Homo-oligomer: A and B are copies of this chain.
Amino acid sequence: MVTSPRLGTGANQEAIRRHNLSTMLRHVHLAGPTSRAELTTAMGLNRSTIGGLAGELAELGLTTTAPASTGARQGAGRPSQSVAAADDGPFVVAVDLGVDRIIVARIGLAGLVHERAEEPVGGDREAWRVAADIAALVRRVADGAPSGAPMVGIGIAVPGLVRRRDGLVRLAPNLGWVDVSPGPMVLAALGVDVPVVIGNDADLGALAEHHRGVGVAIEDLVYVSGHVGVGAGVVAGGVPLAGAGGYAGEIGHLRLTAGGGECHCGNHGCFETAVGASAIAETVGCPPERLAGLEAVLEAFDTAPPGLGAIGREVGEGLAGIVNAFNPRMVVMGGYFRFLYRLVPGDVTAGLDSATLPAPRESVTLCLPGLGSDSVLLGAAELALEPLLADPVGVLRAPRLSPTA
């Protein structure tokens, strides 16, 4: 970036002010209630400028001001005020679309979940029907919003390859979707105009764990998602790894065994074939028709059923390739890997140890998600909130936004 000497003109002062509003809102969104004294330090601005910005965010309905809980006193003895995200302000609706169920939540700034709803996905996964189900759930949670609070976006996590440019779902194999655009379909069913963003479930899990889960301050992490399929979301150098089209992290189709079982992708020996839901379900005696509920089946075990250790070892060996390729500081075990890892941690670790190069191995930790089963849902909210965080004034002044009631 070139810092131009033309700073200081009216247009630039306005740009700086909006930039500073964004910075303050993002800080409060990610770090929680923050005293004005802390904001002064964090943003390198003086107290009166901070006060003006905080007042403006409050006027926009984005934040509230309260005495700082730390009780720290500044200057002439006045307690420092803290700035916090408003409970009744703008919100997004986040959607975690799984193969078997749709989870939807109304979520505000600071990742606060105000209301949630869940329905099973019917046997017919035709995109228009699923979109209608999503729209009904979105309306249900949006209707409970405080009067006047605007819905600023909808974020939908999909278990498939999502083109970043326009949210086209190129492939969601376990939904049977090829080249589907769920965003416009949901909007058509909903009958309102609001920005809709689509993301890959594992990418959004990684984002949320990095923003407010176990990976805060971890610049390099991989979130491994095990639902019916297997994928990964990668944060590298503090930035989500997207790849050229938005498809990075498709580790489910790394080959583990050249002669292995056939994968739905048409190849043999994919990681997903070795450690996917079908393989685990067979081992733990979960009937094929309950495949999508494997997470709950695994959760119910107190000790590992026979055979799960061998799958845990294959999980670890597969993760070794991922650790060698991405050199993360942390691997977050999401989806059913959460429960598998609880049951057979030693086998997973042994597999990892056996096939990771020493240098990347010694600095990586396997972790459970800090956000439990909500990583993907909260990531979808982060995605939908991003335009508001980047330019609160611009988004709230856009004419088309209106409460959905």
Chain A residues engaging chain B, CB cutoff 8 angstroms: 2-5, 7-8, 16, 19-20, 23, 43-45, 49, 161, 163, 170-171, 219-220, 236-237, 239, 241-251, 253-260, 265, 267, 269, 317, 320-322, 324-329, 354-355, 357-360, 363-364
Contacts and interface: CB of A to CB of B under 8 A. Distances in A.
Given A16-B5, A242-B327, A248 B236 contact: yes
Contacts of A258: 256-258, 260, 269
A321 B5 contact: no
Given A250-B357, A254-B254, A328 B244 contact: yes
Contacts of A20: 2-3
Given A243-B236, A251-B324, A23 B2 contact: yes
A257 B249 CA distance: 21
A325 B254 contact: yes
Contact of A3 (B16, B250, B355): B16
Given A248-B327, A253-B357, A2 B44 contact: yes
Number of this chain's copies in the assembly equals 2
A177 B186 CA distance: 58
B2 A45 contact: yes
27 contacts: A2-B19, A2-B20, A3-B19, A3-B20, A4-B45, A5-B45, A161-B359, A161-B360, A163-B359, A171-B358, A171-B359, A236-B242, A236-B243, A242-B327, A244-B363, A244-B364, A245-B327, A245-B360, A245-B363, A247-B324, A247-B359, A250-B327, A254-B324, A257-B257, A257-B258, A258-B258, A321-B321
Nearest to A355: B267
A144 to B, nearest CB: 36
Contact of A251 (B259, B265, B325): B325
Given A170-B358, A244-B363, A245-B327, A253 B321 contact: yes
A241 to B, nearest CB: 5
Contacts of A5: 16, 45, 49
Nearest to A16: B3
B328 A4 contact: no
A239 B239 contact: yes
Contact of A236 (B7, B241, B265, B269): B241
Nearest to A243: B327
Tell me which of A163, A243, A360 has the highest count of chain B C-beta atoms within 10 A of its own C-beta. Answer: A243
Nearest to A359: B170
Instruction: Report, nearest first, the 6 A-B pairs whose CB atoms are least far apart.
Output: A243-B327, A170-B359, A244-B329, A248-B327, A250-B324, A257-B258
Contact of A242 (B7, B237, B250, B358): B237
Nearest to A263: B355
A327 B3 contact: no
A163 to B, nearest CB: 7
Contact of A246 (B45, B253, B317, B327): B327
Given A2-B20, A161-B357, A325 B45 contact: no
A247 B219 CA distance: 14
A363 B23 CA distance: 35
